[in-house]
């Protein structure tokens, strides 16, 4: 049981140390290779025009936002 407690405390100390380091450096967390930002890519999909699935998702989001705005107008009146 003492091995478990010792391992648990060790992981907690490491997690706290990483959190403090992140808070003081205020840098975004990235992988060892630097992520997509190191390649000069600003977003995951770097296509000039979105694919069909993304277009459908964007249309659904716009429809949802329009309904929400309409609902808000009804609540105000």
Per DSSP, 50 falls in state: -
Tokens, residue 10:
């060790």
pLDDT tens profile 1-46: 889 999 999 999 999 988 887 788 877 666 666 666 667 666 666 6
Please indicate, yes or no, whether the overall pTM of this predicted structure exceeds 0.85: no
- Residue range 60-69: mean pLDDT, rounded: 93
What SS3 state is found at 49?
coil
Residues 45 and 51: beta-carbon distance below 8 Å = yes
What SS3 state is found at 3?
helix
10 Å CB burial of residue 36 (0-12, 13-18, 19+) is middle
């Amino acid at each position: 049981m003492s091995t478990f407690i010792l391992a648990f405390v060790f992981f907690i100390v490491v997690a706290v140390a990483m959190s403090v380091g992140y808070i003081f450096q205020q840098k975004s967390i990235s992988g060892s290779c630097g992520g997509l930002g190191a390649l000069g890519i600003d977003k995951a999909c770097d296509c000039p025009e979105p694919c069909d699935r993304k277009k459908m998702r964007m249309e659904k989001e716009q429809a949802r936002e329009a309904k929400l705005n309409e609902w808000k107008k009804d609540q105000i009146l």
